Amino acid sequence: MATFSTTTVSTTIDAPPDRISADLADPRSHPEWGTEFFAGGIEDLGDGTWRTNVPRMGGPVVMRIDGDPSLGVIDLYLAPTGTPFGPPLPIRVVPNGSGADVLFTLTRFPGLSDGDWEDGIASMQRELLNLKERHES
């Protein structure tokens, strides 16, 4: 059995947790705040999946979101077009006073260079600042 390295990137947002969770559970919102990861819009494929462009993953991908936003549990699945979904990118929205802590756990898969791993973490930190600004403005 093998395990992978992970890191959790987080931010605290001064906004209602249920509003943040609902936003994160809506695939259409991700390209609006995830401007470094997503390139372009998102297309509803009508079967609970969405097509979008993710340059870091080589271009067109299919996206699915599962979980229970009312509990702050959102699991994001991404796969290059024509390939099966792998493990989820877990997103958690944890109440913190009148706001919430938003946590994304990133997994480092084999073959990812140290530089690409560090760049991905730094990009996710910037994306979370976009999400924070979106909900606090």
Domains in the chain, CATH or no CATH each: 5-136 (3.30.530.20)
- Pairing type for strands 42-44 and 50-54 reads antiparallel
Q: Alpha helix locations (H) across 15-113?
A: 17-24, 30-33
For 45-86, the pLDDT digits (tens) are 999 999 999 998 889 999 999 999 999 999 999 999 999 998
Residue 69 CA, chain-centre distance (Å), reads 14
pLDDT bucket at 109, cuts 50 / 70 / 90: confident
The whole-model pTM stands at 0.92
